[in-house]
Amino acid sequence: MKALIPGALRSYTRESQVEAVGHTLDELFEDLERRYPGLRFRVVDEQRLLRPNMRIFVNGIGVRELQHALKPEDFVAVVLALSGG
């Protein structure tokens, strides 16, 4: 499947979109970690939860659960949430 990578993480991938595989978001991030070491840690914390500043969209729908099922034709967008005051 295709995964959109935010600009802040492109130092790992060197591309805005990459190919990845996995039956769940967790597996997808494991695959991305194999291909692009260090990327997963920027998205998933030590407790295996999405970091608070990360947003994941599967086919345009926001998802927070790493066990969310994926299909090979899905499009996953990793988005860095903006904050400030």
Report the C-alpha gap between 45 and 85 in whole angstroms.
25
Please list, in sequence order, all residues whose beta carbon lies within 8 angstroms of the beta carbon of residue 59, skipping any fewer than 6 positions away. 74, 75
Report the C-alpha gap between 39 and 33 in whole angstroms.
6
Instruction: Give pLDDT tens digits for 35-75.
Output: 999 999 999 999 999 999 999 999 999 999 999 999 999 99
In the block, tokens 């998205």 appear at: 43
- The ranges assigned to domains in the chain are 2-80
**2-80 classified as CATH 3.40.50.300:** no
In the block, tokens 């345009």 appear at: 60
Whether the predicted pLDDT of 85 surpasses 80: no
Report the C-alpha gap between 82 and 60 in whole angstroms.
18
